[in-house]
Amino acid sequence: MEETKKPLLGLSLFELKEVAKQLGMPVFTGGQMVKWLYTQHVKSIDEMTNLSKANRERLKESYTIGCMDPLDSQKSKDGTIKYLFPTDSGKYVETVYIPEKDRATLCVSSQVGCKMNCLFCQTGKQGFEGSLTAKDILNQIYSLPERDKLTNIVFMGQGEPMDNLDNVLRATEILTADYAYAWSPKRITVSSVGVRNKLKRFLDESECHVAISLHSPIPEQRAMIMPAEKGMSITEVINLMHNYDFSHQRRLSFEYIVFGGLNDSMMHAREIVKLLDGLDCRVNLIRFHQIPGVDLHGADEKKMETFRDYLTKHGVFTTIRASRGQDIFAACGLLSTAHKEGKA
Report, as residue numbers or ranges, the catalytic residues. Answer: 94, 332
Burial class (CB in 10 A: 0-12, 13-18, 19+), 82: buried
Written as one letter, the residue type at 97 is Y
Closest CA to 130 of 140, 148, 115, 149: 115
Closest CA to 136 of 59, 68, 36: 68
Compute the distance between CA of residue 163 and CA of residue 192 in angstroms, rounded to an integer. Answer: 9
Closest CA to 288 of 250, 252, 326: 326
Closest CA to 123 of 111, 132, 114: 114
Between 13-22 and 28-38, two packed helices, what is the crossing angle to 10 degrees? 130
State the SS3 of 280-329.
Answer: CCEEEEEECCCCCCCCCCECCHHHHHHHHHHHHHCCCEEEECCCCCHHHC
